[in-house]
Structure 1
Amino acid sequence: MEKKRVIFVDEDAVSLRSLRRMLIQMPEQWEFGFAESSESALDILQKETYDVIVADIRMPKMDGVQLLSQIKENYPGMVRMILSGHSNRELIIQSTGPCHQFLSKPTSSEKLISTIHKAVALRDLLEDTTLQNAIAQLEGIPSIPQIYLDLNAEIKSANASLKKIGQIVSRDIGMSAKILQLVNSAFFGLPRHIASVEQAVRLLGMEIISALVLSTKIFSLFQSPKTGNFSLEWLTNHNFLVANYAKNIANAHGCDSTLCEQSFLSGLLHDIGKLIFYTIHQQKYDEILATITTSNMHIFELEEQSFGSSHASIGAYLLGLWGLPDTVVEALAFHHKPALSMDIEFTPLTAVHIANVFYYELNANSGSGKIPSLDRHYLDTLGISEQITAWREKCQITTGAEAEQAS
């Protein structure tokens, strides 16, 4: 088995010695390097290859944010993490671009290695190194311009409301993912993963949200092509309706509020991989979309044929790198092929798999091409096949309510 290599960067020699002691009992498949400055780390990386870099945020000459920005450009495939005891909010906000995940000092060896291991294991979702690198370089996901303008206007309003801001952010796939990446970082020390975008906005507060929107470049605007087959507006509406279906299904199954929230979030983000594909391979992805009507193939099959991976895999890869909840990452990765998850109980994946199929069954404007179908064997394994009809009817009511609001 090929060793996984991690380099730690910290100006504090005591912290590095502590890390050495902490990691000495790690299995042989792990190999660690240590550097006492950003400059030293860059020198090492010119000679040696590493999978992960973990840097302190406060360092002289070149701080952790500047270091990770250079790493992103020169070694795009590396997983980039911050491990720091500093709580400078401005630096933390700046780090949300080049940094995949933030860990706080002190941390246990179990937490540290678990986080690193999960990030490295995500590579199993993607075989193509070029695709891995392109995705790992992304600092954010493009947003619908009108939603960004609405958010900007609300923040600058004299009566700005966190509730309204949360509702606006919830309408956008990219903003939602980035806000949840930040709120679930160890910097905030929350006892559990947050899956509600509106709750995340309340926890971050007006100051941080304003800084994110007005002072950083992580919320880029989607440039709508004059011609082509990709529509971010359609994708956003599709995801939002699937999210509502998934939450309704989880609620009807008697799931607790946490699982219902995770089901909604998973639905909201389940097709984010399509936007990622379009962002990094616009022309090629548009060509794929143009062939859907005549190919008699599912969109994920066409993607796998062209890229070696599907939107499900690359969406899960990026959000896994960003440290979103495992249940959400799993729902993205397997929403077309739920049996691959090996789950034997109802999870957000279950809700999203069913909700996505319902969308295509219940909506006239559901796009073209071969529509997805339910994995009956998976549903039988979970013992929920008999509930499908009732859940479909419940979602049909939601569809009618959405149509009335739009008219």
Structure 2
Amino acid sequence: MEEKRVIFVDDDVVSLKSLRRMLIKMPNQWEFEFADSGESALDILKKEPFDVVVADMRMPKMDGAQLLTKIKEIYPGMVRIILSGHSSKDMIIDSIGPCHQFLAKPCQSDVLINTIKRACALRELLGDESLQTSLAKLEGIPSVPQIYVELNAEIKSPTASLRKVSQIIAKDMGMSVKILQLVNSAFFGLPRHISNIEQAVSLLGMEIISALVLSTKVFSLFKAKKIEHFSIEWLTNHNFIVGNFAKIIAQEEGCSKKICEQAFLAGLLHDIGKLILCTIHGELYGDAVAHAEDEAIEITKSEYKFFNSSHAGIGAYLLGLWGLPDPVIEAIAFHHNPGHCLGSEFSPLAAVHAADVLYYNLNPTTKKVQKMGFDKTFLENLDVWNKVDVWRELCQNLSATGEKNE
């Protein structure tokens, strides 16, 4: 592993001393620097590069959110983490854009160290440094305009309900990610990771949800001009259906409620890398899709040709950077090639892989892009290959029920 450099910023001298003691156990390939103000940190960054910044939120002159915003603009490739003992609604809204993850004081040493290690390790998913920088600059993922309008109308309605709000948010990739990133941050101090959208919305409450909707930095609309071969509406609908398929497959396999919720979430987000690529590169992603159709190859092969990475790796990298749970990141990263991932138990990865293949089985397309098939060896190793027909019937029935309800 290459040497990683981390800078900590806190105006409290006692906190900086505590951090120094905490990091003694770190291996030699990690180098640390400490600054007692945002201004001092920026001076240090001018002289030498760093991989990660960990900043306190409440500091005089320049607070943590302001510092991270400047760092995002000047050094967009850096991982940006807030470590703070203070929180308020306004502080949360201000920091959710420029900050990748939030940690609370006092923070256990293993939590801090593992968060930094995980953020750095995620870079291995991407081979292109310029792509890493582009992704690290993103504050959010754009939403489908129609869904945003629907959510805005519900929030302003005199009969608005959190249940209805959560149902709307659960249809949209960008909104779902930001809601979960926020509710699982240290600001809320929850004892376990939340993967259920309805539960997350309930915990945040209508006041914070309304503030998020009004914040253009958090919830933004997909504004790219029409890109040939790409439809955000189709992609959003596809992901939502795959999420529901994955959940029902996980339920059929007797998975826990937690695994079933993670399966839905991973399905909802499994192709989010396509939306990210379209947001960053626009028409070039349309060219990649066209190339896949012209050559009748899998989209991932075309993505590697154009971007030196795939939508699976790109989605997993960014969502991992934002702190989503490992089983969800694993499912997103390997849903096209699950056999590359070690594991002997049925997981969200298995559910999403099967759900994605079944979606195309049940919804044949005239497009020439080669679609992935089942990884038979992977499913045989889990002893579930004989369940494929059962899953197909479950998904078919679910699709039929959905069509009747429309």
What TM-score do the two structures reach when normalised by structure 1? 0.98
Whether the aligned pair in 2 keeps the contact of 1:38 and 1:62 (CA below 8 Å) is yes
Q: How does 1:197-276 map to 2 (within 5 A)?
A: 197-223=197-223, 225-226=225-226, 228-276=228-276
Compute the displacement of 1:93 (Å): 1.6
After superposition, residues 33-72 of structure 1 pair within 5 angstroms as 33-72=33-72
Partner in structure 2 of residue 161 of structure 1: 161
Q: Does 1:116 align with 2:116?
A: yes
For each residue in 1:319-341, what CA deviation from the matched residue of structure 2 results, as whole angstroms up to 9, or x when unmatched?
00000111111110000011111
Alignment of 1:8-407 (within 5 A): 8-223=8-223, 225-226=225-226, 228-365=228-365, 368-406=368-406
SS at match of 2:187: helix
Name the SS of the counterpart of 1:182 in structure 2.
helix
> Are 1:359 and 1:366, in contact at CA under 8 Å, matched by a contact in 2?
no
> Which range moved further: 190-199 or 265-274?
190-199
Tell whether the 8 Å contact from 2:293 to 2:367 is kept in structure 1 after alignment: no
Shift of residue 202, structure 1, vs aligned partner? 0.5
- 1:368 deviation in Å? 4.4
Q: Distance in 2 between matches of 1:226 and 1:9?
A: 43
Deviation at 1:405, TM superposition (A): 2.9
Secondary structure in 2 aligned to 1:187?
A: coil
Q: How many angstroms does 1:78 deviate by?
A: 0.5
Matched residue of 2:404: which SS?
helix
The 4+ residue runs of structure 1 with deviation greater than 6 A are: none
Deviations 1:147-178 (A, max 9, x none): 11111111111222111110110111110011
Q: Give how far 1:227 is off.
A: 5.4
Q: Match of 2:246, as an amino acid?
A: A
Task: Give aligned-pair identity as a percent.
Answer: 62
Cα 1:250–1:367 shift into 2, 3 Å: farther
How many residue pairs get aligned? The number is 406
Tell me, in whole angstroms, the C-alpha distance in 2 between the residues paired with 1:343 and 1:186.
Answer: 30
Distance 1:76 1:298 in 2: 31
Residue type of the alignment partner of 2:222: F
Bigger mean CA deviation after superposition, 222-231 or 328-337: 222-231
Q: How far apart are residue 314 of structure 1 and its match? A: 0.3
Contact 2:183 2:204 in 1 (8 A): yes
What is the SS of the residue equivalent to 1:174? helix
Closer, same or farther in 2 for the Cα pair 1:38/1:227, shift >3 Å? closer
Q: Which amino acid aligns with 1:164?
A: K
* Cα distance between partner residues in 2 of 1:250 and 1:215: 35
2:331, 2:121 → 1: CA distance? Answer: 16
Letter in 1 for 2:338: P
In structure 2, the gaps of 5 or more residues are none
Q: Is the 8 A contact 2:162 2:202 kept in 1?
A: yes
C-alpha contact 2:8 2:32 (8 A) present in aligned 1? yes
CA contact (8 A) 2:246 2:351 kept: yes
**Residues 269-322 of structure 1: CA deviation (Å, up to 9, x unaligned):** 000000000000011101112233221210111101111100000000000000
Distance 2:343 2:268 in 1: 21
Deviations 1:230-281 (A, max 9, x none): 1001001100110111001000001111110100000000000000000000
Residues 58 and 329 of structure 1: CA distance in aligned 2, closer, same or farther (over 3 Å): same
Q: Distance in 1 between matches of 2:38 and 2:252?
A: 52
How far apart are the structure 2 equivalents of 1:22 and 1:193?
Answer: 25
Distance 2:368 2:236 in 1: 16
Consecutive unaligned residues of structure 1, counting only runs of 5 or more, are none
Q: Assess, with a 3 A threshold, how the Cα gap between structure 1 residues 230 and 150 changes in structure 2: closer, same or farther.
A: same
Q: Secondary structure at the match of 1:7?
A: strand
Question: How large is the Cα RMSD of the aligned pairs?
Answer: 1.2
User: Helix, strand or coil for the counterpart of 1:222?
Assistant: coil
Measured after TM superposition, the shift of residue 375 of structure 1 is 0.7
SS at match of 1:188: coil
Answer yes or no: is the 8 Å Cα contact 1:244–1:264 preserved in 2.
yes
